[in-house]
Chains A and B, each alone.
Chain A
Amino acid sequence: MMLLEHDAKGLLSGFGIAVPEGALVKNAAEAAALGEGPWIVKAQVPVGGRGKAGGIRRAAGPAEAGEAAGALFGTRLKGHEIRSCRLERPAAGLECYLSLALETASGRVALLASAAGGVDIESVAGDALARADAAYDEKAVLTALRSAVGALPEPARSGILSVAAEVVAAFFARELTLLEINPLFVTPQGRAVAGDAKIVLDLNALPRQAELVGLLSARAADYREANLKLAHGFDFVVLDAEGDVGLVTTGAGLSMQVADELTAMGARPFNFCDLRAGGLKGNPERLVHLLGWIAAAPNVKVTLVNIFAGITHLGEFSTTLLEALDLVPDFRLPIVARLVGHGLEEAREIVAASGRDLAIETDLDVALARTAELARKGA
């Protein structure tokens, strides 16, 4: 999961890496109240290429900062609503580049440093670029980085070396999968300041990363998916706030596939979820949350339940689902329940005995078509 730039810089700063003075604002008035310019107003969304997409603006003074932030707030950048902006003092210097990334295929750490950073690192060639790789080991990575950077021209060489140990320490201590600083401003004296920071966290490491848990939970609205996973033990992602189909599905791949096939049929899935039905163990809590979120969505017309029960028992699942429905009286949507596998007959009996209007369908294609039709008709 990618950190917002503001938080990525906070993390770097904690390891002794200099970043431009800045603050996070939640609306235009806060932006205008930060004082005399100049400012750079940067939309906080977890995607690359914000500058090219219009998410970074310059402001000479407070009024302009307010205007620039006001124009960004509430709009979407590459599918993400802009909910906060970082206002930052412009930094200057030679634009360099530094990144550490896990190479998932080889199991090594890839190091990339350049005396010519900026927007497009891919186009940098030759002497200005230093590449290396190393085993997943803090000492080995630092040694390889120092050696590779030694070939760069000054002042890039001194500037990057001045933060090398801190950057490597942050990468290992926080179990990051990507740490990219682009640009890394380097002054003629060799002082380095992180102009931008892209950090990808490993959510699986959170059980032993208390500081990161604190960071994410303090900003619940900005890291909604990560916090939901931490709090409830399953994945839930809003795909389309105006969507017309709610999804109660399990398994990451099949859940994505169901959303894709509904989209191809003209429906608009409201959410992705990976319920991890095998972990419910008869407790309706996850389903209560999920049904509540779907019920609160403005345009959802129908909900598709899809459970391929290889191990899960459908009788037990149906009982849990009916309990959850009783606990969420606001949920009044029609349900297409595609259930197949272990315990299907018992599930049919349990659903029939409940008297709920809940049709069980075993064929996925039929269930998808019926769901798309109900979404279209507005049931």
Chain B
Amino acid sequence: MAALAERNTHAEPAIFGIPASAGVLVQGATGRIGARHMGLMRAAGSNVVGGVSPSGRTSEVDGVPVFTSCAEAVGATGARMSVVMVPPLQVLPAIEDAVAAGIDLVVSITEGVPVADAMRALALTKEAGVRWVGSSTPGIAIPGVLKLGFLPDATLSPGPLGVMSKSGTLSYEVSWRLVAAGLGQSSWIGVGGDPVKGTRFADLLPYFAEDPATRAVIAVGEIGGSEEEELAAAIRDTGFAKPLYAIIAGQGAREGISMGHAGALIAGGAGTLASKAEALQAAGAHVFFTIRELAEAVAGSPDLRAEAQG
């Protein structure tokens, strides 16, 4: 609980430079998933000020006003963040709507977004200077302060660990064990399991480097793509000084077949577990292949032990 207390007394918590208390929109608020998680996000501290549903058939959900566009919602509420909870083929239009309305941070949770749409959303958000996290992410959180997405509350607890994850479920398991050992999270950013995404592992290093509440980083990776290799290069290039612990899943994956996540694909010998582990180890990261070994190493590290016992 020390990290939370420190935040409250020193500086207002922020996520990617945006105050965590800023207004949040839920795009798709009238859907089954949107309505349910809007309530859970509010309970986790998020300042949800509006829902967005282009159909215009519903004017409020649980006391939260529902607007027909982000522009209308931003005009009425001043929201700066948005969570996109709509079906796969509607994600690109929803992101376009958010960007056009001047939203600063968009988190899209939907799994199954076509890569072509993700390429277009990436170009659009980059050009507009909008931070996009996702798609196919369980979300992001500053435990006790803010939750954007559906990270399970049982795995969230304030603490010293910055978590970055490509896999939702594996990161739940890892964080749950570490919370049981007394080590919660400073910030948890799920980047998602898609090949083309708004925010990648390496993009998060400056954020965790500057965040005073983060004393070590946990990277939950998997086979496919090159994010772990990019992260290794960024650790070296930026002189990232905090300890980084990684776990990588997919030793038994078959080449040429996507393993659940669209991005978990070994193609032409690239994206293998060995390549990722070697790159991270060479950059000074601690790499593990079982959850137990990772959790024991983190909980037993001299830098974090006092916190784990407290």
Contact = CB atoms under 8 A, between A and B. Distances in A.
Contacts of B154: 310, 341-342
Interface in B208-263: 220, 222-223, 225-227, 230, 247, 249-263
A143 B215 CA distance: 48
Interface stretch (B23-31, B63-71, B171-179, B279-287): B171-179
A123 interface: no
A104 B290 contact: no
A49 B269 contact: yes
Given A251-B168, A256-B222, A365-B292, A225 B113 contact: no
Contact of B253 (A2, A203, A256): A256
Mostly helix, strand, loop or mixed at chain A's interface? mixed
A102 B171 contact: no
A272 B252 contact: yes
Interface in A264-323: 264, 269, 272, 274, 308-311
A287 B138 CA distance: 23
Interface stretch (A12-20, A66-74, A204-212, A351-359): A204-212
Given A47-B256, A235-B259, A254 B269 contact: no
Nearest to B202: A105
B251 A202 contact: no
A136 B123 contact: yes
Interface stretch (B2-10, B74-82, B97-105, B192-200): B192-200
Interface residues on A, range: 35 or more
Given A47-B256, A105-B200, A310-B154, A252 B169 contact: yes
B257 A225 contact: yes
Interface string A246-269: 000011111111011101100001
Contacts of A251: 167-170, 172, 260
B265 interface: yes
Interface in A335-354: 340-342
A272 B260 contact: yes
A239 interface: yes
B83 to A, nearest CB: 15
B114 A205 contact: yes
Given A136-B116, A198-B268, A256 B254 contact: no
B114 A204 contact: yes
A239 B251 contact: no
Contact of B252 (A80, A269, A310): A269
Nearest to A106: B122
B252 A364 contact: no
Nearest to B169: A251
A202 B262 contact: yes
Given A105-B226, A177-B195, A253 B152 contact: no
A204 B262 contact: yes
A307 to B, nearest CB: 9
Contact of A80 (B114, B256, B264): B256
Contacts of A102: 115, 119, 195-196
B297 interface: no
Contact of A203 (B196, B223, B258, B292): B258
Contact of A310 (B152, B225, B258, B291): B152
Given A79-B254, A235-B258, A252 B222 contact: yes
Contacts of A272: 252-253, 259-260
Given A251-B168, A253-B220, A254-B169, A2 B264 contact: no
Given A203-B258, A207-B89, A341-B152, A104 B114 contact: no
B150 interface: yes
Interface in A107-154: 107, 135-136
A78 B255 contact: yes
A1 interface: yes
Contacts of A225: 257-258
Given A1-B257, A104-B225, A308 B268 contact: no
Contacts of A254: 167, 169-170, 172-173, 249
Max chain A Cβ within 10 angstroms of own Cβ: one of B123, B230, B250: B250
B291 A253 contact: no
Contacts of B170: 251, 253-254, 256-257
A1 B259 CA distance: 10
B116 A235 contact: no
Given A198-B268, A252-B193, A256-B260, A204 B113 contact: yes
B259 A252 contact: yes
A364 B122 CA distance: 37
Contacts of A46: 255-257
B289 interface: yes
B166 interface: yes
Nearest to B89: A207
A255 B265 CA distance: 15
A98 B235 CA distance: 34
13 contacts: A1-B265, A104-B196, A107-B123, A198-B268, A204-B88, A251-B169, A252-B259, A253-B261, A253-B264, A257-B173, A308-B169, A310-B152, A342-B152
Interface of A: 1-2, 45-49, 78-80, 102, 104-105, 107, 135-136, 172, 175, 177-178, 198, 200, 202-205, 207-208, 225, 235, 237, 239, 250-257, 259-261, 263-264, 269, 272, 274, 308-311, 340-342, 364-365
